[in-house]
Structure 1
Amino acid sequence: MSPRHSAAEARRTRERIIERSVDLASIEGLEGLTIGRLALDLGISKSGLLGHFGTKEALQLAALGRAAAIFSQEVWRPAADATPGLPRLLAVCDAWISYLEREVFPGGCLFVSSTFEYDGRSGPVRVLLQRQFHAWEHRLTAEVRRAVAAGDLPPDTDAAQLVFELYGVMMSLNHTIQLHGAGRSPARAKAAVARLLTTTSGSGRPTSTPGSPS
């Protein structure tokens, strides 16, 4: 086998490992990413798998990196061309709900489950999770502020509070789908988003009003 073919095969094997790791981690947690389990699932040797990542922690970090790329593709990309501000926020939330409803990750949102796994720990995995969450919060907060500047949300809207509440809706939806199935939960999540993102008089944030995005 030529060096070029050997390198291409190594990349394909690495991709297979990461893809399986993301799926497995969403079901069994990042701690479920054991070298033995993955080697058995993929039909490769433990030493061959270790040759690609070296340590379990490196594999966990690679899985989170891939999960972030999938999340961006599923949630941000469909909304990226929407008008900045409130239209984009609504499009992002629609895509976010769809991503959870379609169970893009077989065990639900990997970031939600990983946060519960690592919220009391320290180390590189927790640091990466914090960085990923902060990046997403920053992106959402920026859109809230654009909506305020455009007059689509009240001038005294608390952007951080609004983003916090949107997170709460999505985490609740994830848990409900994983425990009970989708049912009416996606529709309830859309109604909650509509109330949060409805323009109202100054109360520090948008207040609850009936309705749901179309």
Structure 2
Amino acid sequence: MSPRRSVAETRLTRDRIVERGVAAASVDGLEGLTIGQLAADLGMSKAGVLGHFGSKEALQLALLDAAAAAFARIVWRPAELEPPGLPRLRAVCETWIDYLEHERQIFPGGCLFTTAAIEFDARGGPVRDAVARLHKLWRRRLVAEARTAVATGDLPRGTDPEQVAFELVGLFMALNQEIQLFADPNAAQRTRRALHRLLATAEHQQ
């Protein structure tokens, strides 16, 4: 076997572990994920799984990075093409709803970041720090778009961008719960109604 092929196969195996790990963690949580079950699902030994990461904590961090990349691809990139401010913020909300409703293959247990935020909010350590960092990065992006919407007059003067981002995050955490815990078929539409009130244009609020 050539060194190049060996590296490629190692990378492919690592990617398989991460893909399966993200799906499992969305159901069982990052802490609830067991190396033994993950190894069994993949037809590998526990040592074979851990050999690619070194520790369960390193695996958890790799799963968060992979989930963040998937979230960015599904939620942010399609909306990124819209004009900055309110048009982009509305587009982000639509792709965010679609992500929570339909991305069962990647996240069968719902949004991994929502699960991880609840699971690690009272813990310390690198995984908790990584979860908090990713949530803060996303919230800053929402704040930036809300601030642009205020500057362009699409949201009323005096609107607090931080408050807009705070309420958006709360709405989507609620949406994830309504879908996952209650299987509410009206959850997405309820969210859209709440978004319409929150993101009403300056013209409608004057």
* TM-score under structure 2 length normalisation: 0.95
Which residue is equivalent to 1:146?
148
Trace 1:49-198 onto structure 2 (pairs within 5 A).
49-104=49-104, 105-198=107-200
Question: How far apart are residue 2 of structure 1 and its match?
Answer: 1.2
1:200 Cα deviation from its structure 2 partner: 4.5
CA distance in 2, matches of 1:91, 1:182: 23
Runs of 5+ consecutive residues of structure 1 not aligned to the other structure: 208-214
Measure the CA separation in 2 of the matches of 1:3 and 1:25. 32
The residue aligned with 2:10 is 10
Structure 2: distance between partners of 1:98 and 1:66? 19
Provide the C-alpha distance between the structure 2 equivalents of 1:139 and 1:170, rounded to a whole number of angstroms. Answer: 15
Q: After the TM superposition, which residues 203-214 of structure 1 pair with which residues of structure 2 at under 5 Å, given as runs?
A: none
Measure the CA separation in 1 of the matches of 2:119 and 2:181: 18
Task: State the alpha-carbon separation in 1 of the partners of residues 171 and 198 from structure 2.
Answer: 10
Matched to 1:142, the amino acid is A
Distance 1:103 1:51 in 2: 29
The normalised TM-score by structure 1 is 0.92
Aligned to 1:20: 20
In the alignment, the residues of structure 1 paired with residue 159 and residue 92 of structure 2 have an alpha-carbon distance, to the nearest angstrom, of: 19
Partner Cα separation in structure 2 for residue 25 and residue 99 of structure 1: 17
Greater than 3 Å deviation, 4+ residue runs: none
The CA RMSD over aligned residues, in Å, is: 1.3
CA distance, structure 2, for counterparts of residue 156 and residue 94 of structure 1: 25
Cα distance in 2, alignment partners of residues 88 and 41 from structure 1? 40
Q: Say whether 1:42 aligns with 2:42.
A: yes
Alignment size in residue pairs = 203
For 2:181, what is the secondary structure of its paired residue?
helix
Aligned residues of 1:24 and 1:32 also touching (Cα < 8 A):
no
Task: Output the CA distance in 1 between the equivalents of 2:103 and 2:4.
Answer: 37
Q: CA deviation at 1:75?
A: 0.5
Is contact 2:153–2:202 with CA below 8 Å preserved after alignment?
A: no
Q: Retained in 2: the 8 A contact 1:33–1:56?
A: no
C-alpha deviation, 1:33, in angstroms? 2.1
What's the counterpart of residue 212 of structure 1?
Answer: none
Q: Which moved more, 1:176-185 or 1:21-30?
A: 176-185
- Identity rate of aligned residues, in percent? 58
Deviation at 1:76, TM superposition (A): 0.3
Report SS of the residue matched to 2:124.
coil
Q: Which runs of 5+ in 2 are unaligned?
A: none
